[in-house]
Each structure stands twice: as structure tokens, then as C-alpha cells.
Amino acid sequence: MQFTKMQGLGSSYILFNLLEDSMENVDFSKLSKLVTDVNIGIGSDGMLLIGPSNRADFRMRVFDQEGTEADHCLIGLQCVAAYLYDTMYAETTSFTIETLGGDISIKVELGEKRKVKTVMVWDQRNQVWTNGEVNYVCYGELETMNLPRT
């Protein structure tokens, strides 16, 4: 299972792309605790899952270091948005992401070589949350045979 580690505003996240890879019967709460741990895992502030959505362009799930699923995560949304556009899953600079807290509108601004420079996030009330820059930290492979199962 491939992962991408990204960071923004001092927080880092491990991102798994479920648009391509299937993680059937994986206990995401336990997986989050493992991958976010700096001693036995990759080390991060949380874990992000990107998947298909029935009502938005994409779906994001976010888990913290304790394995709790959150409604949304601002910096996580920025990381996911940059990843989706940079990897060409998002075909335009504006798209929506479904979260437990509701659907979120995204607008990315491009920098050099078509890479995302900044991401603006706002909710259904058109309240702008932030405009921030994200960075890729590393890529890697997680052994699927050791994934915690439900």
C-alpha cells in the first residue's frame, strides 16, 4: 500500500489513496495509531484517506494519532486538495471534498510547472477558512500483510 506524507503549517499527515488501492476490512483507527507513531510507524499528526464520493467530487476521512475519526481537518484538506490536483485526479482547480462535517469547496492556485502553490478552503456558508501552502515530505510503501484488520 503506497502512502504520501505531506505537511502544511507545521503539521504532517500520512495520506492513503483509496481511489486506486483497496483497503478492505482494514481497521483504520488502529492503522492511524500505527502509522502516526514516530517510534514504530512513519510519524505524523494524523492519517488521511482519499476515496470516491456519491455526492462530491472526492471524499476525505481523517484520523488523529489516537485513532479517532474527525469531522474534518483544515490542513488535511489542504494536503488532500494539493495531492488530488498534482496527481491529476482533480481535472480543474475548483472541486468539492466530502467530509463527515459536510461538503467542502476547494480552490487551488498554481505555481511553477503546474504544481499547486496554495489551497483555499471554504464551507457551504462560503466562509473562507484559510489560504495556505502545503509540501510533500516523502513517499513510501506500507506492507499490506501487516495492516490491522477488522
Place of cell 474527525: 70
**Which one-letter amino acid corresponds to residue 47?**
M
145 pLDDT higher than 60: no
More confident residue, 87 or 129: 87
Provide CB contacts within 8 A for 137, sequence distance 6+: 5, 6, 7, 12
pLDDT tens-place string over residues 131-141? 567 788 887 88
Compute the average pLDDT of residues 16-32: 89
pLDDT of 117-132, one tens digit each? 777 776 666 655 565 6
- Give the span between the Cα atoms of 29 and 49, in whole angstroms: 12
Q: Give the pTM.
A: 0.88
User: Average pLDDT, stretch 9-37?
Assistant: 91
Compute the average pLDDT of residues 92-104.
Answer: 92
6, 12 in Cβ contact below 8 A?
yes
- At 110, the pLDDT band (50, 70, 90 cuts) reads confident
- Helix (H) or strand (E) run with residue 107 in it: strand 102-110
* pLDDT band (50, 70, 90) for residue 8: confident
